[in-house]
Amino acid sequence: MWWILPYTAIWPTEVNTARPTDSDRTLTILTSNVLTPNRNAAALIALVEEHQPDVLVTLESDQWWQDQLAVLESDLPYTIKYPLDNLYGMHVYSRLPLSDEEVAFLVEDDVPSMHALVQLRSGDRVRVHFVHPAPPSPTENEESAERDAELVIVAKSIADSTQPIIVTGDLNDVAWSPTTRLFRKISGLLDPRVGRGMYSTFHADYPFMRWPLDHLFHSKDFTVKTIRRLPSIGSDHFPLLASVVFTPAERQEQEGLQPEAGDHKRAEQIAKERDADKRDVPEPGLK
C-alpha cells in the first residue's frame, strides 16, 4: 500500500503542473496498445483526429493496422514502422520532425523498440524511447527476466544523460512494481501520475480488475499539462494521452525516486543474466 498510495490524489505530485506557457514547447503523445486482432482502427483514428497529438505510438500493430493508419500520414508525416504478427509490432507517427530514428532489438530478437529525436516547435530536441518488453507468460517467458533486462539497460543508458528524455510504451508491469521502481531509480525519470492517479489502462473489459501497464516517464526538464486515459478502441488496453511542457528552468525543483543501497548492483545482475548491455540502446543525438 505504501508503494500504491503515491498513485492517488492524497499524495504530493512528483511533477509540477505546467504554467500557462508557449505551446511551442508542449509535446503531446498518444500511446495505444491496439491489440493485434482488434479491427476497430476507426476508433483510434477518431481519437487522433479529436485530440490532435504530436506523436502517436501504436503497440501490437501489424501490417493491417499499418495499412489502416496510413490515412493519418498527411497530418503525421514522420514515421517509424515495424509491423509484426507476433503481438510486438510497433509504429510511430509524428507531426513533428523525427531524426536519428532507429529500431533496436535490445534483449529478444523478435521484440523491437524504437528510438529517435523529436524536434519541438521551439526547435528544442527531445530524446524519445518507445518500448514494449515481453511480459512473463506460461507460453512465452516463464519469468520476467527479459522484460526486466530491457528496462534496466534503457534506464542505465539514460541515467547520466543531460538531454530531455521521454520513455513511453506498454511496460507489461504496474507502476509500483519493484522492476518499474528500479527503472525509475536508475534512470532518474519522473512519473507524472504520482499524486494525480493511477490511470489504469488494462484490462479495458474488466472495470474491477484494472492496472496501469501503459506508461510515460520523463526527465526533470518537463512539467505536466494533462494526462488522460482515453475511451476504449476495442483493445484490451485503453489509450493513454499525455501532454508535457519542456520547462528546463524547473529541473531543480523536481525530484523522483532515489537509488537505495544495492539498487545499482541489482540492475547489473539483471542485465548480466540476459547478456544485455546498455551500449546496445540507441542514444539519439549522441552519435
CA–CA separation, 222 and 225 (whole Å) = 9
Mean pLDDT, the chain, integer: 94
**Residue 196 counted as domain residue:** yes
- The verdict on residue 8 lying in a domain is no
Asked if residue 13 belongs to a domain, the reply is: no
For residue 156, what are the CA distances in angstroms to 54, 89, 127, 241, 284? 27, 25, 15, 26, 15
**Domain that residue 268 falls in:** 24-277
Q: Is 247 helix (H, G, I), strand (E, B) or coil?
A: coil
Residues 6+ apart with CB under 8 A from 208: none
Q: Which residues contact residue 5 at a Cβ distance below 8 angstroms, ignoring those fewer than 6 apart?
A: 11
pLDDT for res 285 = 93
Q: How remote is the C-alpha of 13 from its chain's centroid?
A: 19
- Paired strand residues for 228: 241
Q: Which of helix, strand or coil describes residue 152?
A: helix
SS3 label, residue 101: strand
Structural domains counted in the chain: 1
Q: Which amino acid is at 253?
A: E
Task: Categorize the per-residue pLDDT at 160 as very low, low, confident or very high, splitting at 50, 70 and 90.
Answer: confident
pTM above 0.85, yes or no: yes
153: domain CATH number is: 3.60.10.10
Residue 212's pLDDT is 95
Q: What are the helix (H) ranges across the chain?
A: 41-51, 63-69, 145-158, 178-187, 263-273
> Quick one: average pLDDT of 214-243?
97
CA-to-CA distance for 261 and 129, rounded, in angstroms?
27
pLDDT tens per residue across span 58-71: 999 999 999 999 99
* pLDDT tens by residue, 88-105: 999 999 999 999 999 999
> Could you tell me what percent of the chain has a pLDDT over 90?
91
Q: Is residue 17 part of a domain?
A: no
Residue 6 resides in a domain = no
Kindly report, residue by residue over 174-215, the tens digit of the pLDDT: 999 999 999 999 999 999 999 999 999 999 999 999 999 999
Q: Is residue 162 part of a domain?
A: yes
> How is 27-69 classified by DSSP, letter by letter?
EEEEEEE--TT---HHHHHHHHHHH--SEEEEES--HHHHHHH
Average pLDDT over residues 20-27: 89
Cα–Cα distances (Å) from 233 to 32, 158, 179, in that order, read: 9, 33, 29
Residue 156 forms part of a structural domain:
yes
- Rounded distance between C-alpha atoms, residue 134 and residue 150, angstroms: 9
Using CA atoms, how far apart are residues 168 and 57, in angstroms rounded to an integer?
9
CA atoms of 28 and 116, how far apart (whole Å) = 16
Angle at CA of residue 4, ends 268 and 113, nearest 5°: 45
11 pLDDT higher than 50:
yes
DSSP, collapsed to helix, strand or coil, labels residue 168 as strand
pLDDT at 143 over 60: no
How confident is the model at residue 218, as a pLDDT?
98
The answer to whether position 52 is within a domain reads yes
d(CA 247, CA 225): 11
Question: In the structure, what pLDDT confidence band is assigned to residue 142 with cuts at 50, 70 and 90?
Answer: very low
Q: Name the strands in the sheet holding 165-170, side by side, starting at the edge strand that comes first in the sequence.
A: 98-104, 113-119, 125-131, 165-170, 214-218
